[in-house]
Amino acid sequence: MSLPEGGPEPTVFEERLTSGLYDELVESLQAMGNSALGNVDCPNDFTRHQPQYSNNIEFRTSDGGLDFRTAIVGEVAGSLQGTVLRAIGNYYSSEPAMQFQPINDSKKSVKDVLALVTPTLACNRLANFFQNQTVPLRDAIEHELALESRAVPYQEYILRPWMRSIQEDSGQDDIIMVHMLPKYGVPASAGTATASPARRGKRKLDDVVQPSTNSPAVAANSGSSESSVCKPDASQIRLGAYYDPRLLCDYGGDYFRQVKAMLVQLDVRDATARGPADSEDPLVPPWDFYDRLRPGTLVLVDASLHIFVMNDTDSKGAIRPKKRKIYQINAHSIKILAKSDFPIEERKVLIPRGFDGSSSTVSAPPPAAFASFSLKTPSKNDRDAAISSGASPSSSVRGGSSGSRSASARVPDSAGRPGSSVVAGSSQSAAPSGSSSLSQGSVVDIDVDVPDADSVKSKRACSAGKKIGAASSSS
């Protein structure tokens, strides 16, 4: 793992080597026998199994047909190597902003991902043991594909293996990708939040409606307010507990539309924090994952192996001939064996692709009627300036005379874009006979007599005087 630049050089790796931690770890892993991934082979110790009525594949022990669970050791790598520790987890949407689907209560597959690599400054025995873990994983893929080709000889697949390479195209499987369990869930007492809301009709514009102060969307759109949420005490931190998701520093924004979903306490434990009075390793709450699972942390994972088979579709939803096979290692429990003093990676509330205008999927320009929309009402500063100068507030806004104002109308071009802006009231030459005076993208000045306040008062006084005179003559 590359060392951070500009900061103090980590010292924990040298201490692990000199203290004998790595040697002790290897001895313990070898003593686990078939319970550790580096000690087993495929298909001798475990093999594929496809449940009835399912396209997905799981792995079971070769002798008794039990679910295959295995221990994997490694060092947590950084985000550049594939680790995903953030509020949105591994959720990804390739849809444009107008079609973006946020994370709601029904999204149950939002997971964090740990990229495990050979421990830094590992002794030869530990480095070899880590590489031995990749052999049964690679053999399992080859074994499974061979069995599949016999059953469906002409089916082709797009593979996403459970290993990656630190250097692209190197051919070395030196990163083991481990998926944690779903990080959000709806408590059973909360029920489901997927029911459709009651249909609302249109309101009259003069109807009086009290504004809502407890809209879930407001809370979801606001940035994470970790300081306003009380963290549970030690007695409330237990396996399977539910917490306020705002406890995550990067929770919030347009990615989330959750109502009842909450943050789930996963089985992540810190063996280095176990005290003499503790009966088991203490749990690590999810808001501490960013610190306790930072790059360089040495972990042991209790995992199961899975293959998810699904159709591959194009942008229009049509099914392509090839299918996708996603090889996934699920972590049921994680034990922190040694802490790291690498810097904690910065995290912030994320903006979906296209929402900030930085993506090529930004929506088309608005219609001309929208782009040219403006209000004629003068601002308070304009009115105050007009009154102090002795002029009418209405006459000082658009540069018109005291008795009238000018307005401008835009003529869209052939693409529907609004024309350029021109100061209202400018003179226009007459168009030649037989030709149109409206060119695409031009601005036409239309003189509209809009009486100002003084004109209105004088006309009203004159009208009142005429009525009084007419009444006197009739009497």
Q: Please state, for a pLDDT cut of 90, what percent of the chain lies above it.
A: 39
Q: What whole-number distance in Å separates Cα of residue 117 and Cα of residue 17?
A: 16
Q: What is the pLDDT of residues 231-275, one digit of tens each?
A: 899 889 999 999 999 999 989 888 888 889 999 999 999 999 988
Among 338, 357, 379, the domain boundary falls at 338
Count how many Cα atoms sit within 13 Å of the Cα of residue 445 in the half-sphere of its side chain. Answer: 16
| 3 lies in some domain | no
Whole-number mean pLDDT of the chain? 76
Q: Is 274 found in the same domain as 136?
A: yes
The pLDDT confidence band at residue 424, using thresholds 50, 70 and 90, is: very low
**Where does the pLDDT of residue 320 fall: very low under 50, low under 70, confident under 90, or very high at 90 and above?**
confident
* Backbone CA torsion sign across 385, 388, 393, 395: negative
User: What is the total count of domains within the chain?
Assistant: 2
- Buried-exposed string 92-131: b where 16+ CB fall within 10 A, e elsewhere: ebeeebeebebbbbebeebbbbbbbbbbbbbbeebeebbe
Is 262 found in the same domain as 378?
A: no
Same domain, 28 and 111: yes
Q: Evaluate whether residue 233 is within a structural domain.
A: yes
Give the range among 51-55, 91-95, 301-305, 397-401 with minimum mean pLDDT.
Answer: 397-401
Residue 419 lies in a domain: no
The residue among 318, 338, 358 that closes a domain is 338
- How many residues are present in the chain? 475
Check whether residue 276 and residue 389 sit in a common domain.
no
Within this chain, do residues 373 and 235 fall inside the same structural domain, yes or no? no
- Give the pLDDT confidence of 398-417 residue by residue, as tens digits: 444 444 444 444 444 444 44
388 in the same domain as 271: no
Burial of 269 (0-12, 13-18, 19+ CB in 10 A): buried
The verdict on 116 and 52 lying in the same domain is yes
Question: Nearest-CA neighbor of 43 among 150, 141, 148?
Answer: 141
Q: Is 309 a domain residue?
A: yes
User: Quick check: 403 and 455 in contact, CB under 8 A?
Assistant: yes
Token digits for 197?
Answer: 């809301």
Res. 70: pLDDT tops 90: yes
What element of type H or E holds 331?
strand 319-338
Tell me: do 162 and 224 sit in the same domain: yes
Indicate whether 2 belongs to any domain: no
Whether 426 is in a domain gets the answer no
| Of 204 and 132, more confident | 132
User: Which pair of structure tokens corresponds to residue 205?
Assistant: 């514009």
Is the domain of 383 the same as that of 321? no
Cβ-contact 34, 66 below 8 angstroms: no
Same domain, 313 and 409: no
Same domain, 400 and 319: no
Domain carrying residue 217: 12-187+212-338
Distance CA 366, CA 364 (A): 6
Mean pLDDT value of segment 339-346: 91
pTM, to two decimals: 0.67
Domain termination residue (choose one: 338, 360, 386): 338
Residue 177 lies in a domain: yes
Same domain, 160 and 309: yes
Question: Is 436 domain-assigned?
Answer: no
d(CA 263, CA 240): 10
Segment 179-199 shows an average pLDDT of 71
